[in-house]
Structure 1
Amino acid sequence: MARKMDKSIEIIEALQGKKIPILTLDDRWYQLIPEHEKTATIKQLETNLNNLLKQQGKMINDIKDMKKLKKKLMSEIVANMETDNSPAGRLKAKKLEKSHQFIEEINIKMQEADDTLLDMPYQIKKANEELMVESMKVCYTKLKHNQIEIEKADQWIRKTRETLKVRILEKQDKEIENSSLYSYMHDILGSAVLDILDDKE
């Protein structure tokens, strides 16, 4: 087990500095690892990576929405800046206070989302590398299996070639023998007798 872990670490280290595409967004990966060849580990890692990508996309959209809302609230603050002691003025003051509170909450949420979003590329990169390592293991196993099958096929082809050569020589010998027999019989018996013999067959 420790050796397997070492292999995974070696592969991840070898991948350092290489630009690896996000596997679940790359058609070539789906061709290399079709659905029926995915191990349980690969399926889990694929799900993890896709969830991280969805989470990142959702956070980006949430931040955009919060910025729009903040802009709207800022416009309301500007519109309600002038207040007095009248009922309408007090209502404006309350709206102003509420808008300030919302903006504070939005600022906190945006800061939290930004902090989380900052870490997302590293999480995605790590999940992608883990998926790449498992995918490479499956591909390498397939390569080894295919190599065994290629060698078997190569042996069969060589053996069949030898058999084919022998059979071709046997066929040629029989054809030469038939030609000689026919020629000899033709010379001795003549074509009329050979035609009678040919008709009987």
Structure 2
Amino acid sequence: MFKFFKKQPEKAQFDKKVLRKNDISLLILDERWNALFAYTEKTPEIIKCEEELKELLKEQARLMTESKEIGTLKKSCMDKILKLTTEVYDNNNEEAKNSMRDCEREIKRINERFKEIEELLDNIPAQIRTANIQLLEYTVNAVYFKMRANQKRVKELEELIEEAHARLKEYIDEKGTLAEYDADIYSYFHDLLGGEELEKLDREFFKDGID
């Protein structure tokens, strides 16, 4: 079982180009991946990579939230500009003009930030895929060494079980031989001395039980 692992290199490496084409689940969200470490300790590399993925996901969520918030703010500014239009263009209201300029500056700032967020969000999926593949490499190496240790222990246990089976057979054979010998003796003396005398011998020799 698992003999193919003997041919594996000391450190597994994957063709990242091939893996990027495959649909690899996000490991830290995969229950089966997390279950791998029920009996295998996470290496420092795995912990670091896991934290990196968590931070990337947090950053992605934060940027998406910010994008939604500034989108709401932009709409509010645009609505305000519409309301100020009459005062600015019909009534030549200076205070309204200043408010409109403030809104326009805010919208410009928001548009620039939108562009920054869009670029950051465009890059994060690639960063997540790279970190995820790196985590997969670290995981395989950690689990591989654990499996190799497990197989060594399995072999040791198989030998111990085989020895125990052999010893158990010896004990069973010895028990059968002794029981048969005692039965023959009992039968002989029963025929020779009779049951009453045999009971006396039993009381004499086995009055304190068997230690």
Q: TM-score, normalised by structure 2?
A: 0.86
Aligned equivalents of 1:19 and 1:84: distance in 2? Answer: 57
Deviations 1:101-124 (A, max 9, x none): 111110011011101101111101
User: Is 1:179 aligned with 2:179?
Assistant: no
* Aligned equivalents of 2:114, 2:130: Cα separation in 1: 25
Aligned CA distance change for structure 1 residues 91 and 116 (closer, same or farther; 3 Å): same
State the distance in 2 between where 1:52 and 1:4 align: 30
Residue in 1 aligned with 2:101? 97
Is the CA contact 1:33–1:135 (under 8 Å) kept in the aligned structure 2?
A: no
CA distance in 1, matches of 2:54, 2:116: 22
Please state whether the residue corresponding to 2:85 is helix, strand or coil: coil
Q: Deviations over 1:27-53 (max 9, x none)?
A: 322221249711111111111111111
How far residue 193 of structure 1 moved from its aligned partner, in angstroms, is 1.3
Residue 4 of structure 1, CA deviation: 6.1
Match for residue 166 of structure 1 among 166, 170, 189: 170
| Aligned pair partner of 1:50 in 43, 47, 54 | 54
Task: State the Cα deviation string for residues 35-81 of structure 1 (Å, max 9, x = none).
Answer: 97111111111111111110000000010011100000000011111
Q: 2:81 — aligned with what?
A: 77
Q: Distance in 2 between matches of 1:58 and 1:49?
A: 14
Residues 1:130 and 2:169 are matched in the alignment: no
SS at match of 2:199: helix
CA contact (8 A) 2:40 2:146 kept: no
RMSD of Structure 2 on Structure 1 (CA)? 2.0
Does the C-alpha gap of structure 1 residues 89 and 13 become closer, same or farther in structure 2, counting only changes over 3 Å? closer
Please, which runs of 5 or more residues in structure 1 have no aligned partner?
Answer: none
CA distance in 2, matches of 1:159, 1:166: 11
The answer to whether the 8 A contact 2:63-2:121 is kept is yes
Instruction: Describe the SS at the equivalent of 2:160.
Output: helix
Q: With structure 1 as the length reference, what TM-score do the two structures score?
A: 0.90
Percent of residue pairs bearing the same amino acid type: 28
Aligned match of 2:13: 8
Q: Tell me how far apart the structure 2 counterparts of residues 103 and 35 of structure 1 sit (CA, whole Å).
A: 54
Determine which structure has greater relative contact order: mean sequence separation of CA pairs < 8 Å that are 6+ residues apart, divided by chain length. 2
| Structure 2 counterpart of 1:47, one-letter code | E
Helix, strand or coil for the counterpart of 2:21?
Answer: coil
The equivalent residue for 1:157 is 161
Q: Is the CA contact (8 Å cut-off) linking 1:24 and 1:46 kept in structure 2?
A: yes
Question: Are residues 162 and 35 of structure 1, via their aligned partners in 2, closer, same or farther at CA, if it must alter by over 3 Å?
Answer: closer
Count of residue pairs the alignment pairs up: 196
What is the one-letter code of the residue matched to 1:140?
A: Y
Gapped regions of structure 2 (runs ≥ 5): 1-8, 207-211
Deviation at 1:8, TM superposition (A): 2.1
Paired with 1:184 and 1:73, the residues of 2 have a C-alpha distance of: 114
Do 2:56 and 2:128's aligned partners in 1 also have CA atoms closer than 8 Å? Answer: yes
Q: Secondary structure at the match of 1:19?
A: coil
